[in-house]
Amino acid sequence: MLNDKRIRIITGHYGSGKTEFAVNYSSKLAKEGKDVVLADLDVVNPYFRSREKTEELSKEGVKVIGSSIKGKGSDVPAVSAEINAPLQNEEVEAILDVGGDPVGARALGRYVNYLKDGKYDMFFVLNANRPETQTVEKAIYYIREIERISRAKVTGLINNTHLLKSTTVEDVLEGQKLAEEVSKETGIPVKYVSALENIAKQLPEDIEGEVFPIKLYMRDEWMS
Amino acid sequence: MAKVLMKGNEAIGAAAIKAGCKYFFGYPITPQNELPEFMSRELPKVDGCFVQAESEVAAINMVYGAAGAGVRVMTSSSSPGIALKQEGISYIAGAELPCVIVNIVRGGPGLGGIQPAQSDYYQATRGGGNGDYRHVVYAPATIQETVDLVMESFDVADQYRIPVMVIGDGMIGQMMEPVEFNEPKRRELPSKEWATDGTKGEREPNIINSLFIDPEELEVHVNERLEKKHAIITEKEVRFESYNVEDADVVCVAYGTTSRIVKNAIAKCEEEGLKVGLIRPITLWPFPDKAFEAITDKTKGILTVEMSTGQMIDDVKIAMNGRKPVYFHGRTGGMIPNPDDIVAEIKKIVGGEK
């Protein structure tokens, strides 16, 4: 995680778990003593956005930048000008939580001047249990479309295959198979395998990519 | 089929198409936008048709037309949009046509907010449209149940020639859960010989209509056709979940996602030795009056929990008919009830009678 580029962009198909990964990643990076800014660029979703966790994350040392329009109930897609700061300031670790699909990635386009080759990582979050990304072809379609719209390159895959709390190790390994095939076709490495802590413990040690245990920030207890 | 992970709104769309829905007419509004978006993408693949109408009023009238032609058709909206559709819903009910209407409820009144609410209970069960009409209202609590009920709604609508509404608060539309698609229990469905699908020169033209100028004729229509149908549906289609109701200290009543929060509160009460039951209406109309018959004299009170200022509580009081005091706990504006607050309310009821 410390070897990732200073600017990390989290993209993927709609509902693949980008926000949950971005929030966990930010929190973990802050625990390493880093100055972390999480920019919520989601202009697609009305619920379950990282900006809802501003307070909780600030206690963990993560600064969250949300919409420039205050009020968490707003669905007006207004990206804050504040987001320029962590992109320019080389002292901070910037994590951009981007809305799903090519349509969500469009919000990235305006930052293209900050996204120089070798200066950023763009991670593609993949959940093989989402109906639209169950095959190699479809997953690659989303990767290419997101790259085209954002004018940035995906530099790593994240296998985030799950069925929430009913996820099994087999689910993750099925997703891993898909991620590795996508990796073989595209040359993009599998960077992380994210899974709930109890599942992460049971994953084989030689799995491609770093096992990344997460907890569910975005899902209230009653939803289980 | 293996389970997939879907957002409620997408899953509703997928379920409708699996149930044979070919036509969708709607107008965007948060928090249900993923549903028309899904239909606009997926319906053309099954030779169906998606139209984004110029307004909700236009959309429901397109539904009226398509339903009259005998095809499976759906519309969806969120609270203020459903308010706009009420006139059309009354016409469709009056003309005895089958269709499925989805309401992903947000806070009101007026434009309100975009966060989850259950403040359209009156609108759904009493109707914002005019006249002595009813339509079936299903209120699922999980995405799986949403999928199952959406698929069955098309059959129920066809069986009784009645609009069926599936109502979920914003959470049902927005949250993700694992789902699988299973065929509903087979029903004997009548043929649609009333449909305006072309005479082909072989029969008299059919007419779709809700106008009966002759008062005697209208009374027969309302009493003999609509009201009798409502009685049969009330007899046969009531659905509810019931947990530990008999001899409970307190019985909670909640529907939709609120029932899941109440279940958490009940589990906390059980840890402290309290026996708390739950009645979860799955059909809001017809309301499961008979579920309340299982409540015994030992129960101190009924607690209705809603994301509103108290709407379903009226039906709970009718069902209880004064047998026990009925209390209320609710949050509004898109705020979600907290299990600890519900536990406190339950304890107040238990303690209050000592």
Say if CB A17 and CB A11 are below 8 A apart.
no
Averaged pLDDT score across all residues of chain A: 93
Residue A1's pLDDT is 84
DSSP B9-69: HHHHHHHHHHTT--EEEE---TTSTHHHHHHHHHGGGGT-EEEE-SSHHHHHHHHHHHHHT
Q: Each residue of A159-205: pLDDT tens digit?
A: 999 999 999 999 999 999 999 999 999 999 999 999 999 999 999 99
- The residue of chain A nearest to residue B267, with distances taken between CA atoms, is A222
Q: How confident is the model at residue A105 (pLDDT cuts 50, 70, 90)?
A: very high
User: Which residues on chain B are in Cβ contact (under 8 Å) with A219?
Assistant: 175
Residue A80's pLDDT is 87
Q: E strands along chain B, which residues?
A: 4-7, 23-26, 49-52, 73-77, 99-105, 136-138, 163-169, 176-179, 240-243, 250-253, 276-281, 283-285, 301-306, 326-330
A161 Cβ neighbours under 8 A, 6+ residues apart:
A126, A127, A128, A129, A167, A171, A172, A174, A175, A176, A178, A179
For domain A7-68+78-219, the CATH architecture is 3-Layer(aba) Sandwich (3.40)
Distance between CA atoms of residues B77 and B97, nearest Å = 19
Domain ranges of chain A: 7-68+78-219
The C-alpha of B115 sits at a distance from chain A's nearest C-alpha, in angstroms, of 7
Query: What is the arithmetic mean of pLDDT over B129-135?
Result: 97
Residue A71's pLDDT is 67
* Contact across the interface for A131 and B7, Cβ inside 8 Å: no
* Contact across the interface for B175 and A131, Cβ inside 8 Å: no
Residue B354's pLDDT is 44
Which domains are seen in chain B, by residue range?
A: 4-192+210-236 (3.40.50.970), 240-352 (3.40.50.920)
Of B174, B176, B263, the CB nearest to A46: B174
Q: How far is CA A66 from the centre of its chain?
A: 16
What's the token pair of residue B315? Answer: 């039906």
What's the token pair of residue A94? Answer: 């910037």
Whether B318 and chain A come into contact, CB under 8 Å, resolves to no
Whether B80 and chain A come into contact, CB under 8 Å, resolves to no
Amino acid letter, A68? S
Of B4, B31, B174, the CB nearest to A131: B4
Q: E strands along chain A, which residues?
A: 7-12, 36-41, 62-65, 93-98, 120-126, 156-159, 190-196, 210-214
Taking 90 as the threshold, does the pLDDT of residue A72 lie above it? no
Instruction: Look up the ipTM and state it.
Output: 0.91
Whether B263 and chain A come into contact, CB under 8 Å, resolves to yes
